[in-house]
């Protein structure tokens, strides 16, 4: 069943005077963050095809946006794998369910759209979850970049495929560096334990 197209995030928030925004630099380009005093509502790629512009009477900055910027900096530096931020995305019940499942994808891992559809409870809903992911208003933190095509190809990302590729490669690199070394006994060392790099581990 086709999903009814929702209004853009900027339209749903038009005229609200309790929203604040900031634009931050990142390795994937500028990001727009939008929040009220209690919840982050938007993380939008400013250089992708789904750019959202700040609207009057939005105000610049608040403590939650400062914290979001700090955690994003740690994420991009490879020092944070989970975000601790209050979120309030706006969408249909199906979209909200699909976005909740996105938050279950482990850092550095990927699902296919088919896998996400199974997690949502409808294995035939691959296209529907793809459409829902395309409407995800809080990119990166709700990690729609971790969903790929069934053939392993990178498809469908509002921030652009180069940004999606960069995010996945960065997370995979951090995971590789975090893997422990295996310890084995080296012959002729009188039982001393010696750390060895094992093929396939590091």
Which residues are known catalytic residues? 144
Edge-to-edge order in the sheet of strand 31-35:
40-45, 31-35, 20-24, 59-60
Name residue, tokens 């853009």. 8
Direct distance between the N- and C-terminal alpha carbons of the chain, in angstroms, rounded to an integer: 46
Structure tokens at 138: 């809080």
CA distances (Å), origin 90, targets 96, 170, 176: 8, 28, 35
Indicate the burial class of 6 (C-beta count within 10 angstroms; 0-12, 13-18, 19 or more). Answer: middle
Residues 18/12, Cβ–Cβ less than 8 Å: no
- β-partners of residue 195 are 183
User: Which stretches does DSSP call E strand in 101-148?
Assistant: 111-112, 147-148
State the Cα angle at 145 between 155 and 9, rounded to 5°: 95
- β-partners of residue 35 are 20, 40
């Amino acid at each position: 069943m086709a999903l009814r197209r929702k209004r853009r995030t900027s339209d749903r928030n038009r005229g609200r005077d309790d929203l604040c925004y900031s634009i931050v630099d990142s390795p994937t380009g500028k990001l727009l963050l939008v929040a009220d005093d209690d919840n982050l509502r938007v993380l939008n790629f400013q250089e992708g095809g789904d750019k959202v512009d700040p609207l009057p009477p939005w105000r610049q900055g608040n403590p939650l946006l400062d914290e979001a910027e700090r955690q994003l900096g740690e994420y991009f530096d490879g020092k944070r794998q989970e975000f601790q931020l209050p979120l309030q995305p706006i969408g249909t019940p199906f979209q909200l369910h699909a976005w909740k499942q996105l938050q279950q994808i482990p850092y550095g891992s990927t699902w296919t759209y088919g896998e996400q559809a199974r997690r949502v409870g409808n294995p035939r809903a691959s296209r529907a979850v793809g459409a829902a992911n395309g409407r995800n208003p809080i990119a990166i933190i709700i990690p729609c970049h971790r969903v790929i095509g069934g053939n392993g190809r990178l498809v469908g990302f509002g921030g652009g495929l180069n940004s999606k590729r960069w995010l996945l490669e960065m997370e995979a690199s951090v995971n590789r560096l975090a893997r422990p070394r295996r310890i084995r006994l080296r012959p002729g060392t009188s039982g001393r334990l010696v750390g060895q790099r094992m093929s396939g581990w590091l």
